[in-house]
Amino acid sequence: EATKNWVLMVTAQCPTNIAVIKYWGKRDESLILPINDSISVTLDPQHLCTTTTAAVSPTFDTDKMWLNGKEISLSSGRFQSCLREIRSRANDVEDQEKGICIKKQDWEKLHVHIASFNNFPTAAGLASSAAGFACLVYSLSKLMNVKEEQGKLSAIARQGSGSACRSLFGGFVKWVMGNEANGNDSLAVQLASETHWDDLVIIIAVVSSHQKETSSTTGMRESVVTSPLLHYRSKEVVPKRIVEMEKAIKTRDFALFARLTCADSNQFHATCLDTSPPIFYMNDTSHRIISYMEKWNQFEGTPQVAYTFDAGPNAVLIAPNRKAASLLLQRLLFYFPPPSDTELSSFVIGDKTI
């Protein structure tokens, strides 16, 4: 008689991603299907990443999850979709050393425990759901010996949170909106690997770590219903920008990359302003950063830095290389001087020490 006290577990790490052509708006709320393609860059795994351990044992009597040590509910449709989709693709798993043999059909009865940690503040508006759902889906797929290729897994992560599908790949990633009603073709594809343009340096200036007032899910729903600009953007602007951005990435054309990234961030925030009632994600400090960066780029005649802002006031600044990044840091320190007793690894922008 085999022992029932075994636990089998898998740990995975997944970085977050930053969109340079933004996703904003769904055409299907429950399957999470977007109204336009988007493109992102995946960060290095040592920064802003989620680590998730998924475990299975015959002694577990329900599925459970902990986030940063606190138990959270798995009852939402998003968690349930991810769990259901992964379970339905599970395969036999054998660990001879431990004397474990799980048959494909056993997975329907077995329960999982999932523990997830973010190495960054969850509430800081730094795309925690992207890394979180990508890591959840990936760790479960390894635990259950799911054999789907990464693109298919991305379509499952998408059902947890749209932007999560892009975190299944490193480097530059495109989320193809797809056109099938079942969403099977709405998935991520890698445009370029993490080594293709590894001179780029990404600096995140935490302007405020307060939780945002309007969640992305709610915000984009309101934009779809009320913003004429959003529909113009998704039909007329984004398709052309996607082609241009792919070209900029392929040829490592920083000037083109920076122009498109800044323009797309600004148009995304314009659609937020065009929403009724208007949504303000950026604050005065964000606006000051934009104007400093624009002035610098204009002064030099060619872009030195790209900026982009998501559903919050924090700035994501992208420099073409380490030299430009150090000049950028000098500028940030000049405009937002830290108090004299601050260690140089952290400084103050707006109301928050980072």
Q: According to CB under 6 A, which residues from 160 to 219 bind ligand 2P0?
A: 161-163, 216-217
**Whole-number Å distance between alpha carbons of 153 and 328:** 37
- Are 164 and 157 in contact, with CB atoms under 8 Å apart? yes
Reading the block at residue 259, the tokens are 């122009």
Instruction: Give the DSSP letter string of 17-83.
Output: EEEEE----EEETTTTEESS-EEEEEPPTTSSEEEEEEEEETT--S-EEEETTEEE---SHHHHHHH
Q: Which stretch binds ligand 2P0 (CB under 6 A): 81-89, 112-120, 157-165, 316-324?
A: 157-165
The residue within the footprint of ligand 2P0, chosen from 12, 15, 16, 22 (CB under 6 A), is 22
- Are 167 and 130 in contact, with CB atoms under 8 Å apart? yes
At closest approach, how far in Å is the CB of 127 from ligand 2P0?
A: 6
- Are 130 and 6 in contact, with CB atoms under 8 Å apart? no
| 83 binds ligand 2P0 per the rule CB under 6 A | no
Closest CB to ligand 2P0 among 216 and 227?
216
Reading the block at residue 266, the tokens are 């600004």
Q: Which stretch binds ligand 2P0 (CB under 6 A): 15-23, 83-91, 235-243, 270-278?
A: 15-23
At closest approach, how far in Å is the CB of 133 from ligand 2P0?
A: 8
Q: According to CB under 6 A, which residues from 224 to 283 bind ligand 2P0?
A: none
CA 281 to chain centre: 17
Closest CB to ligand 2P0 among 102 and 173?
173
Q: Which stretch binds ligand 2P0 (CB under 6 A): 6-14, 158-166, 177-185, 288-296?
A: 158-166
At closest approach, how far in Å is the CB of 337 from ligand 2P0?
A: 30
Sign of CA dihedral 291, 312, 253, 319: positive
Pairing of strands 348-349, 352-353: antiparallel
Number of residues binding to ligand 2P0, judged by CB under 6 A: 14
The residue within the footprint of ligand 2P0, chosen from 37, 85, 264, 310 (CB under 6 A), is 310
Q: What share of the chain is helix, strand, coil (3-state, %, to 5)?
A: 40, 25, 40
| 124 binds ligand 2P0 per the rule CB under 6 A | no
| 311 binds ligand 2P0 per the rule CB under 6 A | yes
Interface residues toward ligand 2P0, by CB under 6 A: 19, 22-24, 32, 38, 129, 161-163, 216-217, 310-311
